[in-house]
A and B are shown apart, each in its own frame.
Chain A
Amino acid sequence: MVSGNMSGNHSTWPEWVYVGVVVALLCYVGAEAWNIERIVEHVPADAEIIKVTGQQWLWTFEHEDGTKEIGELHLEKGKAYKFEITSKDVVHSFNIHDYVVLLDAVPGRINTVWFSPNEAGEFPIQCREYCGLIHYNMRGTLYVENGA
Protein backbone atom coordinates (compact mmCIF):
# COMPACT_ATOMS: atom_id res chain seq x y z
CA MET A 1 0.00 0.00 0.00
CA VAL A 2 1.34 3.43 -0.93
CA SER A 3 2.16 5.62 2.04
CA GLY A 4 -0.06 8.69 2.30
CA ASN A 5 2.56 11.42 1.97
CA MET A 6 3.73 10.34 -1.51
CA SER A 7 0.57 11.38 -3.27
CA GLY A 8 1.19 14.99 -2.24
CA ASN A 9 4.88 15.12 -3.18
CA HIS A 10 4.91 14.80 -6.93
CA SER A 11 4.26 17.59 -9.37
CA THR A 12 0.72 17.68 -10.72
CA TRP A 13 1.14 20.24 -13.50
CA PRO A 14 1.13 17.65 -16.32
CA GLU A 15 -2.26 16.44 -15.13
CA TRP A 16 -3.63 19.97 -15.13
CA VAL A 17 -2.24 20.66 -18.59
CA TYR A 18 -3.87 17.42 -19.78
CA VAL A 19 -7.22 18.43 -18.21
CA GLY A 20 -6.93 21.90 -19.77
CA VAL A 21 -6.20 20.52 -23.23
CA VAL A 22 -9.13 18.10 -23.03
CA VAL A 23 -11.52 20.84 -21.86
CA ALA A 24 -10.28 23.21 -24.58
CA LEU A 25 -10.74 20.56 -27.28
CA LEU A 26 -14.24 19.70 -26.06
CA CYS A 27 -15.14 23.42 -26.07
CA TYR A 28 -13.76 23.79 -29.61
CA VAL A 29 -15.61 20.73 -30.93
CA GLY A 30 -18.89 21.73 -29.26
CA ALA A 31 -18.65 25.37 -30.38
CA GLU A 32 -17.78 24.47 -33.97
CA ALA A 33 -20.62 21.96 -34.28
CA TRP A 34 -23.10 24.31 -32.64
CA ASN A 35 -22.08 27.22 -34.85
CA ILE A 36 -22.32 25.26 -38.10
CA GLU A 37 -25.68 23.82 -37.07
CA ARG A 38 -26.92 27.35 -36.35
CA ILE A 39 -25.69 28.65 -39.71
CA VAL A 40 -27.05 25.70 -41.68
CA GLU A 41 -30.50 25.76 -40.03
CA HIS A 42 -30.97 29.48 -40.59
CA VAL A 43 -33.50 29.75 -43.44
CA PRO A 44 -33.25 32.70 -45.89
CA ALA A 45 -36.34 34.93 -45.86
CA ASP A 46 -37.19 34.28 -49.52
CA ALA A 47 -37.00 30.48 -49.40
CA GLU A 48 -39.82 28.73 -51.25
CA ILE A 49 -41.65 26.15 -49.17
CA ILE A 50 -41.92 22.64 -50.60
CA LYS A 51 -44.19 20.22 -48.73
CA VAL A 52 -42.66 16.76 -48.78
CA THR A 53 -44.77 13.74 -47.84
CA GLY A 54 -43.38 10.27 -47.48
CA GLN A 55 -45.54 7.15 -47.67
CA GLN A 56 -44.90 3.51 -48.41
CA TRP A 57 -43.10 3.70 -50.79
CA LEU A 58 -42.98 7.00 -52.63
CA TRP A 59 -42.32 10.70 -52.14
CA THR A 60 -44.86 13.42 -52.94
CA PHE A 61 -43.84 17.06 -53.37
CA GLU A 62 -46.14 20.08 -53.30
CA HIS A 63 -44.88 23.49 -54.44
CA GLU A 64 -46.11 26.82 -53.09
CA ASP A 65 -48.30 27.34 -56.20
CA GLY A 66 -50.07 24.03 -55.54
CA THR A 67 -48.22 22.02 -58.20
CA LYS A 68 -47.72 18.42 -57.10
CA GLU A 69 -45.07 15.99 -58.18
CA ILE A 70 -44.64 12.32 -57.36
CA GLY A 71 -41.18 10.76 -57.35
CA GLU A 72 -39.73 13.78 -59.11
CA LEU A 73 -38.85 17.23 -57.89
CA HIS A 74 -38.06 20.09 -60.25
CA LEU A 75 -36.22 23.05 -58.73
CA GLU A 76 -34.34 26.07 -60.01
CA LYS A 77 -30.64 26.51 -59.56
CA GLY A 78 -29.64 29.34 -57.21
CA LYS A 79 -32.95 29.62 -55.34
CA ALA A 80 -33.51 28.65 -51.72
CA TYR A 81 -36.02 25.95 -50.81
CA LYS A 82 -37.37 25.00 -47.43
CA PHE A 83 -38.70 21.47 -47.16
CA GLU A 84 -41.56 20.78 -44.76
CA ILE A 85 -41.31 17.05 -44.34
CA THR A 86 -43.91 14.68 -42.94
CA SER A 87 -45.13 11.12 -43.37
CA LYS A 88 -48.52 9.50 -43.92
CA ASP A 89 -47.75 6.11 -42.38
CA VAL A 90 -44.42 5.07 -40.85
CA VAL A 91 -41.15 6.89 -40.23
CA HIS A 92 -39.20 7.60 -43.39
CA SER A 93 -36.11 9.72 -43.92
CA PHE A 94 -35.80 12.22 -46.74
CA ASN A 95 -32.31 12.30 -48.23
CA ILE A 96 -30.71 14.16 -51.13
CA HIS A 97 -27.25 12.75 -50.71
CA ASP A 98 -25.45 15.07 -53.14
CA TYR A 99 -26.69 18.16 -51.30
CA VAL A 100 -26.28 16.75 -47.77
CA VAL A 101 -30.00 17.04 -47.05
CA LEU A 102 -31.21 14.40 -44.59
CA LEU A 103 -34.19 14.59 -42.25
CA ASP A 104 -36.71 12.13 -40.83
CA ALA A 105 -40.30 12.15 -42.07
CA VAL A 106 -42.41 11.41 -39.00
CA PRO A 107 -46.21 10.90 -39.00
CA GLY A 108 -48.02 13.79 -37.28
CA ARG A 109 -44.97 16.02 -37.26
CA ILE A 110 -43.49 18.53 -39.71
CA ASN A 111 -39.70 18.69 -39.81
CA THR A 112 -37.97 21.43 -41.77
CA VAL A 113 -34.68 21.67 -43.60
CA TRP A 114 -33.56 24.09 -46.30
CA PHE A 115 -31.00 24.11 -49.08
CA SER A 116 -30.05 26.04 -52.17
CA PRO A 117 -29.01 23.97 -55.19
CA ASN A 118 -26.02 25.60 -56.90
CA GLU A 119 -25.43 23.00 -59.58
CA ALA A 120 -27.78 21.97 -62.37
CA GLY A 121 -28.37 18.29 -63.02
CA GLU A 122 -30.14 15.17 -61.78
CA PHE A 123 -29.66 14.00 -58.22
CA PRO A 124 -31.08 10.91 -56.52
CA ILE A 125 -33.54 11.17 -53.65
CA GLN A 126 -33.67 8.16 -51.35
CA CYS A 127 -35.46 7.06 -48.19
CA ARG A 128 -32.83 6.48 -45.49
CA GLU A 129 -35.00 4.90 -42.79
CA TYR A 130 -36.01 1.28 -43.23
CA CYS A 131 -39.74 1.58 -43.82
CA GLY A 132 -40.89 -1.79 -45.05
CA LEU A 133 -40.61 -4.25 -47.91
CA ILE A 134 -39.97 -1.82 -50.77
CA HIS A 135 -37.86 0.63 -48.76
CA TYR A 136 -34.88 -0.03 -51.03
CA ASN A 137 -36.84 1.31 -53.98
CA MET A 138 -38.40 4.36 -52.29
CA ARG A 139 -36.47 6.68 -54.52
CA GLY A 140 -37.03 9.87 -56.45
CA THR A 141 -35.08 12.25 -58.63
CA LEU A 142 -34.24 15.87 -58.06
CA TYR A 143 -33.97 17.86 -61.27
CA VAL A 144 -32.13 21.13 -60.80
CA GLU A 145 -32.70 23.37 -63.77
CA ASN A 146 -31.10 26.64 -64.77
CA GLY A 147 -33.47 29.49 -63.96
CA ALA A 148 -35.17 31.59 -66.63
Chain B
Amino acid sequence: MKVIFGLALVLGLLVIIPSIENALAAGDEPGEYLDRRVEIWGLFYRLMIVAFTVGTVVSGLIVWLVLRFRESNPKAKPTEYEADGKW
Protein backbone atom coordinates (compact mmCIF):
# COMPACT_ATOMS: atom_id res chain seq x y z
CA MET B 1 0.00 0.00 0.00
CA LYS B 2 2.76 2.43 0.94
CA VAL B 3 4.56 1.60 -2.30
CA ILE B 4 1.51 2.39 -4.41
CA PHE B 5 0.82 5.61 -2.52
CA GLY B 6 4.49 6.65 -2.77
CA LEU B 7 4.59 5.87 -6.48
CA ALA B 8 1.42 7.88 -7.10
CA LEU B 9 2.86 10.80 -5.12
CA VAL B 10 6.16 10.78 -7.03
CA LEU B 11 4.46 10.50 -10.42
CA GLY B 12 2.04 13.27 -9.45
CA LEU B 13 4.89 15.57 -8.42
CA LEU B 14 6.77 14.79 -11.62
CA VAL B 15 3.80 16.17 -13.56
CA ILE B 16 2.71 18.97 -11.23
CA ILE B 17 6.07 20.71 -10.57
CA PRO B 18 7.12 21.12 -14.23
CA SER B 19 3.59 22.28 -15.10
CA ILE B 20 3.67 25.01 -12.44
CA GLU B 21 7.16 26.10 -13.47
CA ASN B 22 6.12 26.20 -17.09
CA ALA B 23 2.99 28.20 -16.35
CA LEU B 24 4.75 30.77 -14.17
CA ALA B 25 7.70 31.24 -16.53
CA ALA B 26 5.47 31.79 -19.56
CA GLY B 27 3.99 34.99 -18.15
CA ASP B 28 7.19 36.92 -18.86
CA GLU B 29 7.59 36.07 -22.52
CA PRO B 30 5.58 37.36 -25.48
CA GLY B 31 3.24 34.80 -27.01
CA GLU B 32 3.91 32.98 -30.25
CA TYR B 33 1.76 32.89 -33.36
CA LEU B 34 -0.47 29.84 -33.34
CA ASP B 35 -3.66 28.49 -34.82
CA ARG B 36 -6.37 28.59 -32.17
CA ARG B 37 -8.38 26.06 -34.14
CA VAL B 38 -5.64 23.44 -33.92
CA GLU B 39 -4.94 24.02 -30.22
CA ILE B 40 -8.55 24.18 -29.02
CA TRP B 41 -9.99 21.39 -31.17
CA GLY B 42 -6.91 19.28 -30.38
CA LEU B 43 -7.59 19.74 -26.66
CA PHE B 44 -11.25 18.90 -27.20
CA TYR B 45 -10.45 15.65 -29.02
CA ARG B 46 -7.85 14.58 -26.44
CA LEU B 47 -10.29 15.17 -23.59
CA MET B 48 -13.03 13.35 -25.49
CA ILE B 49 -10.70 10.35 -25.84
CA VAL B 50 -10.19 10.42 -22.05
CA ALA B 51 -13.94 10.77 -21.42
CA PHE B 52 -14.96 7.95 -23.75
CA THR B 53 -12.19 5.67 -22.49
CA VAL B 54 -13.30 6.21 -18.90
CA GLY B 55 -16.92 5.68 -19.91
CA THR B 56 -16.07 2.43 -21.70
CA VAL B 57 -14.00 1.05 -18.81
CA VAL B 58 -16.54 1.99 -16.13
CA SER B 59 -19.59 0.73 -18.03
CA GLY B 60 -17.70 -2.42 -19.10
CA LEU B 61 -16.75 -3.08 -15.48
CA ILE B 62 -20.36 -2.63 -14.35
CA VAL B 63 -21.63 -5.03 -17.04
CA TRP B 64 -18.99 -7.60 -16.07
CA LEU B 65 -19.82 -7.26 -12.35
CA VAL B 66 -23.55 -7.66 -12.97
CA LEU B 67 -23.07 -10.76 -15.14
CA ARG B 68 -20.31 -12.38 -13.06
CA PHE B 69 -21.92 -11.94 -9.67
CA ARG B 70 -25.55 -12.63 -10.58
CA GLU B 71 -27.11 -15.41 -8.54
CA SER B 72 -27.78 -17.53 -11.65
CA ASN B 73 -24.12 -17.59 -12.76
CA PRO B 74 -22.88 -21.23 -12.61
CA LYS B 75 -19.66 -19.94 -11.01
CA ALA B 76 -21.51 -18.06 -8.28
CA LYS B 77 -20.72 -19.08 -4.71
CA PRO B 78 -22.63 -17.99 -1.65
CA THR B 79 -20.84 -15.41 0.42
CA GLU B 80 -19.69 -16.31 3.92
CA TYR B 81 -22.77 -14.67 5.34
CA GLU B 82 -25.12 -16.52 3.03
CA ALA B 83 -23.36 -19.89 3.56
CA ASP B 84 -23.35 -19.62 7.33
CA GLY B 85 -26.64 -17.86 7.62
CA LYS B 86 -25.03 -15.28 9.90
CA TRP B 87 -25.66 -11.60 9.22
Check if A and B associate. yes
Check A1 against B19 for contact (C-beta < 8 Å). no
Check A12 against B1 for contact (C-beta < 8 Å). yes
A121 nearest CB across to chain B (Å):
14
Check B23 against A24 for contact (C-beta < 8 Å). no
Please report whether the interface of chain B is mostly helix, strand, loop or mixed according to DSSP: helix
Q: Which of B37-55 contact A (CB under 8 A)?
A: 37, 39-43, 46-47, 50, 54
Report chain B residues within 8 Å CB of A35: 19, 22-23
Give A residues with C-beta under 8 Å from B.
Answer: 1-3, 6, 12-13, 16-17, 20, 23-25, 27-29, 31-36, 38-45, 80, 98-101, 114-116, 118
In whole angstroms, what is the CA distance A39 to B35 when docked? 11
Number of interface residues of B (CB under 8 A): 34
Give B residues with C-beta under 8 Å from A.
Answer: 1, 4-5, 8, 11-12, 15-16, 19, 22-23, 26, 29-37, 39-43, 46-47, 50, 54, 80-81, 86-87
Check B26 against A40 for contact (C-beta < 8 Å). no
Report chain A residues within 8 Å CB of B40: 36, 40, 100
Report chain B residues within 8 Å CB of A6: 80
B40 nearest CB across to chain A (Å):
5
Check A28 against B50 for contact (C-beta < 8 Å). yes
Check A32 against B15 for contact (C-beta < 8 Å). no
Taking a contact as CB atoms closer than 8 A, the residue among A2, A24, A32, A39 that contacts B34 in the complex is A39
Check B23 against A80 for contact (C-beta < 8 Å). no
